[in-house]
Copies of this chain bind each other. A is one copy, B any other.
């Protein structure tokens, strides 16, 4: 086993942060310019602004618009190092983080901020058929599948098959599902509308499926109702109280009904990454590690869990939601506490979440925002959403680039990133080939 610590070892205390998402990066930044050695370990070389990933999946933005190299972000802090590596486990006795390449990194304090992935509720076989949206590769794959389905529909001589291929089912009525459904509807109805001859993308069917009674269940009811209306006006069919029963290459069965579909996108269910397994502790059903008020993992001194990895409770003993702002605030809090506690021995103060309000966007001129007593919807909420999200991007150039692309899209209804790249073979159903052959036979005969 090889010690992979990036910096020369010295006698400063060493904080290892696993994961450079909102939580990990906030924590590392707070520890910047202190007399503590910090190592950030991530599988990727970039921090991804996940809230805008659906725009990459729907051809509105490029991956580089929403991703920033981790090294670049922390390069201003000489005490923070970055290691590109895959963590496979933790040796809590030796205080080692174990890496996939037979290496390890020793730690004095360990911050686990490894995020979450989608949960298929025990049906992992649905994953290849209905990709979720957590990584750049996911987004590229969804973009390729969406665009390819329309290309295949254009080639298909069979109206039923054309209809199936241009039907997009989005599973999950949370913010991700709502945003995806709205963006796909806009892509089909406006961007692709004039580019095809046989099919009419404007007639494409977009179906949003939610098992619960309403969309955006964490928002106030009137905003849920507005969201459903706004999506319907975009031409999205919204099915609530409709649990998904099966996903196949041909479509989705939900609420007892089979919906033939060319593309299925998964936006439901969250499962924490395996940090709990690494520690060998009990987790909740979503795989989250229970933490104390100071975000420490009970029984593991100097080990902390943040963001989607952690099950933290508020003052009413309710779990904090899996939101970017929770992750970011936890990271900032823990970073500040460690910066004070490690050199000065000050006790760790408990974390308190300050709710800064929730937003979700539906499409052009339509969004919802909930700030407790103040609620916004429609154009004002949408402009606010856009400003906030551009502002939250790292770096001036990204802000300028994204603003430019959004203005352009707003004025022209076009999207700049309609590329089918990588694997270009989507699952084509047997029925298509059959139908086409039958038609061909009919012609010849």
Contacts and interface: CB of A to CB of B under 8 A. Distances in A.
Contacts of A218: none
B414 A45 contact: no
A417 B197 CA distance: 35
A46 B404 contact: no
Given A397-B408, A405-B401, A421-B136, A6 B416 contact: no
A436 B62 CA distance: 38
Interface in A32-79: 43-46, 62-65, 67, 69, 71-72, 75
Interface in A135-166: 136-137, 147-148, 151, 154-155, 157
A148 B46 CA distance: 12
Interface in A401-443: 401, 404-405, 408, 412, 414, 416-422, 424, 433, 436-437, 439-440, 443
A196 interface: yes
Contacts of A404: 397, 400-401, 404
Contact of A196 (B71, B155, B419): B71
A109 interface: no
Interface residues of A, number: 61
A198 B7 CA distance: 7
A94 interface: no
A195 interface: yes
Nearest to A73: B195
A49 to B, nearest CB: 13
A422 B2 contact: no
A416 B440 contact: no
Interface string A378-416: 000000000000000000011011001100100010101
Interface string A306-340: 00000000000000000000000000000000000
Interface of A: 1-4, 6-7, 43-46, 62-65, 67, 69, 71-72, 75, 81, 83-85, 102-103, 136-137, 147-148, 151, 154-155, 157, 194-198, 397-398, 400-401, 404-405, 408, 412, 414, 416-422, 424, 433, 436-437, 439-440, 443
